[in-house]
Structure 1
Amino acid sequence: MEYKEDEYLMISGIQHFQFCRRQWALIHIEQQWAENVHTVVGELMHKKAHDPYLIENRKDILITRSLPVSSRVLGVSGECDVVEFHKSEIGVRLYGHRGLYRIYPIEYKKGEPKISDEDILQLAAQVMCLEEMFSTVIQEAAIFYGETRRREVVEITDDLKNKVRDMFREMHQYYDRQYTPKVKWSKSCNGCSLKDICLPKLGKTMSVKKYVKLALEDDE
């Protein structure tokens, strides 16, 4: 099965979905959003990594930033923070450049490596898009963390790819139904930018969008 472009979901949504399915639905289905210190710092870090007009050439390495990627199979689109193309005897051909190149994507994140794997899943999704676009196989990628100031190498395994496929399939099902999952309050909610509008107790009876609409009607 392949998706049409108007059915594509955001690649970055997989990290929200892994962290909390309700958070993902609030952002991507109900269009709710709120800034906190974590989202602001993360946005500033990505601005430093992104420059869509910049292509660096360092000896045998080409470096592109803010590279648009997509996948018809996964039904997703987005951008890679940084993609390095390393000159190699085995690789892909690039328009305007001689030789073959090995593709090495790098995702930029604030903080330090997480115990959970939402960052890894997002990186794997980007890899799968690049593999589809360039008809190649990418076995390794990396995440650069602002706190440690170094790259964490990530092996792109079949098990990881299968998890990404399963998660996007579930996300498409929720999005098609416009369904916002219910959740129970946990300690992880304290660091969520949507904690003040999530209202998980209301999830049993209505969506946040409906709650806000009713609240506005009562004020009139």
Structure 2
Amino acid sequence: MMNNLSFPNQDYIPIASLNQYAYCPHRCWRMFCAGEFEENEYTIEGTSLHERVHTLSDNMKDETWQIRAIWLKYERYQLIGKADLIELESGEIYPVEYKRGKRGEWDNDELQVCAQALCLEEMTGKTIDLGYIYYAHSHQRQPVEISASLRENAITTIEAVQFLFNTAIMPKPVYKPRCKGCSLYSRCLPQASQKVGGYRESD
């Protein structure tokens, strides 16, 4: 059904970059264009969670076939990434993305699930109508409907990230409540840059 890719193609866009771009375009630029990254309590917890699930394996759980840590690829939009979990049940395929946060915290997580579904559709020829986000804090799954509007949002974000990668033009930092949990907050200082009416990259 699916061919596992042993390594990511460097010319492809990482699925994770879509999540970061939807969270904050400036953060995405710093991580994927400038190569900057700093840990905080949230990133460490998230990394630990993904290290536990990113061990390639497949097994049956009740009537559900599960495969972990498989590489997904979307040739049409040059997208690639490793899925936390793919499930096959009664002929239906579901991507399951693991997150450390709590249910419904940010919509960028749904975007990442949709991107995985687009990859699966191209790889398998099957239509994916549903995916899930598993939240480690609550041990609950949130269903994600792979709707027409979510698909459109995913494609728009893919194109925006492609433009960002191709031009390397830095988006200006914009302060939002989610900035408080960002590990790169001290690098861009969005509140300070807005007060002075602009942004200038530090040396």
Q: Let me know the Cα RMSD of the aligned residues.
A: 1.8
Quick one: which of 35, 39, 45 aligns to 1:41? 45
1:1-220 equivalences in 2 (<5 Å): 5-52=9-56, 54-86=57-89, 88=90, 101-200=91-190, 201=193, 204=198, 206-207=200-201, 211-212=202-203
Identity %: 27
Note the alpha carbon deviations across 1:140-160, whole angstroms, 9 max, x for none: 111110111111111111110
If you compute each CA radius of gyration, which structure gives the higher value, 1 or 2?
A: 1
- Report the Cα offset of residue 204 of structure 1: 4.2
How many residues are treated as equivalent by the alignment? 191
Using the alignment, how far apart are the partners of 1:187 and 1:162 within structure 2? Answer: 26
Q: 1:195 to 1:151 in 2, by over 3 A?
A: same
Structure 2: gaps (5+ residues): 1-8
Give me the whole-angstrom Cα distance separating, in 2, the residues matched to 1:23 and 1:195: 9
CA distance in 2 between counterparts of 1:173 and 1:123 reads 21
Rounded to whole Å, the distance in 2 between the matches of 1:62 and 1:49 is: 15
- Report the TM-score when normalising by structure 1: 0.81
Verify the 8 A CA contact 1:182 1:203 in the aligned structure 2. no
Shift of 1:72: 1.3
User: Given residue 64 of structure 1, which amino acid in structure 2 is its aligned partner?
Assistant: I
Task: Map Cα deviations across residues 182-204 of structure 1 (whole Å, 9 max, x no partner).
Answer: 02333322210001112442994
**Cα shift readout 1:85-127 (whole Å, capped 9, x = no counterpart):** 12x3xxxxxxxxxxxx321111111121234311000000001
Shift of residue 74, structure 1, vs aligned partner: 2.1
Q: Distance in 2 between matches of 1:151 and 1:56?
A: 19
Distance in 2 of aligned mates of 1:69 and 1:10: 10
Gaps of at least 5 residues in structure 1 are 89-100, 213-220
Aligned residue for 2:103, secondary structure, equals coil
Report how far residue 8 of structure 1 moved.
1.1
TM, length-normalised to structure 2: 0.87
CA distance in 2, matches of 1:51, 1:24: 26
Partner Cα distance (2:122, 2:176) in 1 = 38
Letter in 2 for 1:140: L
Structure 1 residues 77 and 203, CA gap change in structure 2 (3 angstroms): farther
8 Å contact from structure 1 (residues 22, 183) kept in 2: yes
C-alpha deviation, 1:59, in angstroms = 4.7
Question: What one-letter code is carried by the residue in structure 2 that aligns with 1:13?
Answer: S
What CA distance in whole angstroms lies between the structure 2 residues aligned with 1:203 and 1:193?
23
Partner AA of 1:16 in structure 2: Q
2 CA distance for matches of 1:205 and 1:157? 37
Contact 2:173 2:188 in 1 (8 A): no
User: SS at the partner of 1:73?
Assistant: helix
Distance 2:22 2:54 in 1: 24
